Structure 1
Amino acid sequence: MSNPNPFQTTLGTDAQWVVFAVMALAAIVFSIAVQFRPLPLRLTYYVNIAICTIAATAYYAMAVNGGDNKPTAGTGADERQVIYARYIDWVFTTPLLLLDLVLLTNMPATMIAWIMGADIAMIAFGIIGAFTVGSYKWFYFVVGCIMLAVLAWGMINPIFKEELQKHKEYTGAYTTLLIYLIVLWVIYPIVWGLGAGGHIIGVDVEIIAMGILDLLAKPLYAIGVLITVEVVYGKLGKEEAQPLTA
């Protein structure tokens, strides 16, 4: 099995610093903007501030510790660095990304709970697989992909079931944002399979690819969500848009 560039170099560290800077800037901008927004919109702003703040913290930790603290999986020629901080980031931020969408629906608490559970399980199987040696890691990969399919199915339901829809103004935007997020989340396991799983791409390439995905899935996605709630609030007015805080 090939194992190119199994350890992070300055290229990967520089990429992490860039992602950290963008995440931190987004968190600061959103934190300033929320001070001037009406109360019904603030919860959505706070969710995205939390997402970008957590991601910035994780990328800071990765950039600072990347050159010295190198937990690995495998031995000898098969040894490879595992960037574990990204999984800690995802455990906290991916449920919040889903919450951005859930706030646009009338999903019941039980449905939200099992969707969030599938999401956290997906991340857990990802990190276990990253530290697993040999072909056994692909079991965790497959189960993680199944969890992704489960949560995607749950999130798709509000598009077709009227009882889960909050308002027609939300549904179109919800569909667009969900498709965007699912497409990105399908690419993540592909990168994992090429990197931590198959050792086909080096750690630096994996870092850069994951960093690009994180930027697309967090600050850029957040902008789309915030534009959506602003537009809906403008169309429906304060009273009808109030459920955005629910």
Structure 2
Amino acid sequence: MSWLGKRNDAIQVNPNTQNNKHVDIAITVRGSDFYFAICAVMGFVALGVMAASAMKPRTDRIFFYITAAINTTACIAYFAMGSNLGWTPIDVEWQRTWSQVAGVNREVFYVRYIDWFVTTPLLLMDLLLTAGLPWPTILWTIFLDEVMIVTGLVGALVKSRYK
């Protein structure tokens, strides 16, 4: 049963250095394991939803397809984060004194924002179609959601007090 042993070497394969800058506050092996676990759950749910969609006629599968797309996208994003990919180093605004969280810069996973940019409109569409809202309301809500995510990404990538 040696094949069941710990084998997560993502941090060694993809080290905490990017753009010639080493990151002080970064993902740990436990964090990587956690992201891979979420990736597995999202992947299994996506496969389960697609399998369940086979029970319905093709014309009635829209909610299955939307839900499967959400989980597939999240699965890919969490795989990237678990693999220590899809991040950029950002200098911190406030220096911490506690040694476990102190550092000059940190990893910011921009892949998380890409995931949200794709999945939250799908989540909203799933919910708002179920509620029977008109398309103009759905599109306006999705637009505001996209604005929120983009401004969140900009805030995460800014190192000054302009966050």
User: Is TM-score (shorter-chain normalized) higher than 0.5?
Assistant: yes
Q: Distance in 1 between matches of 2:124 and 2:28?
A: 33
Could you tell me which residue of structure 1 aligns to residue 138 of structure 2? Answer: 112
Could you tell me which residue of structure 2 aligns to residue 57 of structure 1? Answer: 76
Percent identity between matched residues is 36
Letter in 2 for 1:117: F
Structure 2: segments with no counterpart, 5+ residues: 1-23, 96-102
How big is the shift at 1:126? Answer: 1.0
Pairwise CA RMSD: 1.9
Q: Distance in 2 between matches of 1:69 and 1:26?
A: 23
**Match for residue 74 of structure 1 among 91, 103, 109:** 91
**Match for residue 49 of structure 2 among 25, 30, 33:** 30
Could you tell me which residue of structure 2 aligns to residue 88 of structure 1? Answer: 114
Letter in 2 for 1:31: M
Q: Quick one: structure 1 residues 108 and 125, their matched pair in 2 at CA, closer, same or farther if it must change by over 3 Å? A: same
Matched, 1:11 2:30: yes
How big is the shift at 1:131? Answer: 0.7
On the 8 A contact 2:42/2:71 being kept in 1, the answer is yes
Q: Distance in 1 between matches of 2:132 and 2:42?
A: 30
Larger RCO (CA within 8 A; separation ≥ 6): 1
Aligned-partner SS, 2:78:
helix
- 1:28-75 CA deviation, whole Å, 9 max, x = no partner? 1111110012456411111100000011011111122x1x76511116
Q: Distance in 2 between matches of 1:28 and 1:104?
A: 22
**Match for residue 126 of structure 1 among 132, 135, 152:** 152
Farther-moved stretch of structure 1 (107-116 vs 92-101): 107-116
Q: Quick one: structure 1 residues 22 and 130, their matched pair in 2 at CA, closer, same or farther if it must change by over 3 Å? A: same
On the 8 A contact 2:89/2:108 being kept in 1, the answer is yes
Q: Distance in 1 between matches of 2:160 and 2:119?
A: 29
Structure 1: segments with no counterpart, 5+ residues: 138-246
Q: Distance in 2 between matches of 1:53 and 1:27?
A: 6
State the aligned residue count.
131
Q: Distance in 2 between matches of 1:11 and 1:82?
A: 17
Letter in 1 for 2:71: C
The structure carrying a bigger helix percent of its residues is 1
Letter in 2 for 1:55: A
Farther-moved stretch of structure 1 (46-55 vs 105-114): 105-114
Q: Distance in 2 between matches of 1:69 and 1:34?
A: 31
Could you tell me which residue of structure 2 aligns to residue 223 of structure 1? Answer: none
State TM-score, norm by structure 2. Answer: 0.73
Q: Quick one: structure 1 residues 74 and 50, their matched pair in 2 at CA, closer, same or farther if it must change by over 3 Å? A: same
Aligned-partner SS, 2:153:
helix
Q: Distance in 2 between matches of 1:93 and 1:69?
A: 17
The structure carrying a bigger strand percent of its residues is 2
Could you tell me which residue of structure 1 aligns to residue 62 of structure 2? Answer: 43
Aligned-partner SS, 2:161:
helix
Farther-moved stretch of structure 1 (13-22 vs 126-135): 126-135
